[in-house]
Structure formats: structure tokens, C-alpha cells
Amino acid sequence: DTGTLAHDLPNYLREHRGEKSDCSLRPFPVSFAQLGWDHWIIAPHRYNPRYCKGTCPHLLRYDYHAPNHAVVQSFVHQLVDASVPRPSCVPYRYSPISVLMIERNGGILYKEYENMIAESCTCR
């Protein structure tokens, strides 16, 4: 079955390209007021962390940056045992944001926090 899928890859990809439910990066701007943190985070007022959502395809394309284990697990789910879950759509790369905060002692803190915005998604 795996060999058949790989042989028929061009048709397979053509059929499944463009599905809205495919694993992809989605915007979701959020304000710190919504999180209840606006009483001590001065800036920014809002930012867009984004999120990953969607179904990981059976055949994981190279642009999903999926580890080999996820590729194997996808085949196991499809061909061997459906109780083994399919890989999940999760963030792959992140970027930082800068935050300005009031500290407990009245000081003011500027800080860059890593991994605050999702920049791409993967299946794993």
C-alpha cells in the first residue's frame, strides 16, 4: 500500500491540495486585557501569537518539516492500526516579542521573550 501511495503521489497531492482543513497557520490577535494582564503589561496592548490548526495529511509533504517518526506514525495509523493517532498540527518555528512591564517594586522592565509567535506549522 505504501508503495502504491508513493507511486501515485502526483495524483494524490492534486486531489488533496487546497483543502481548507489542512494543517496551516491561522491568525488570532489577542489583547493582554483579554488575558487579564493589562494591569501590569504596558506594551504591547495586543499581539498575534497565531496558532496551528488542521488535519495532517496522510502523506506528509516535505514542507511540513515533519520528523521521520511522524511520517511512519501516519502510515501506521492508516495501514496498520487506526487507534494509533495521526500526527498533530503544531507550531514548528517561533519568533519573539518585546514586552514592557511594571515590576512589583515599581521598576519598569523591557524584555524580549522568545517563542511567543508561531511562524510555521509542522505535523508531529
Partner 1 sequence: NQSPLPLGSLPAVPTLPLLQALQMRAPGSPGWQVGPASGQPLRYMLNLYRRAADREGRPRRSRSLGTNTIRLVQASSNGGQPWAGRWYLQALTYNLEGQPEAEHLLRATVVYLPSLSVAHSRLLCTLELVVAGEAPRVLLSPTARSRHGWAEVDVTPYLVLGNSSVGSLALRHVCVRAGRAGGHDAPVAPGHPFLLLYLNDTQAGLAPPAAEPHRRRR
Among 5, 25, 42, 76, binds partner 1 (CB under 8 A): 42
3-state SS class at 49 = coil
Q: Angle 29-31-32 (CA atoms, 0-180°, nearest 5)? A: 140
Task: Provide the minimum distance between the beta carbon of 31 and partner 1 in the complex, in angstroms, as a whole number.
Answer: 11
What is the Cα–Cα distance from 121 to 53, expressed in whole angstroms? 8
How many residues bind partner 1 (CB under 8 A)? The answer is 35
Q: At residue 23, what is the residue type? A: C
CA 41 to chain CA centroid, Å, is 26
Question: Closer to partner 1 at the Cβ: 7 or 93?
Answer: 93
31 binds partner 1 (CB under 8 A): no
CA 88 to chain CA centroid, Å, is 9
101 binds partner 1 (CB under 8 A): yes
92 binds partner 1 (CB under 8 A): no
Residue with cell 501569537: 49
Among 12, 47, 75, 92, binds partner 1 (CB under 8 A): 47
Binding footprint of partner 1 on the chain (CB under 8 A): 29, 35-37, 39-40, 42-44, 46-48, 95-117
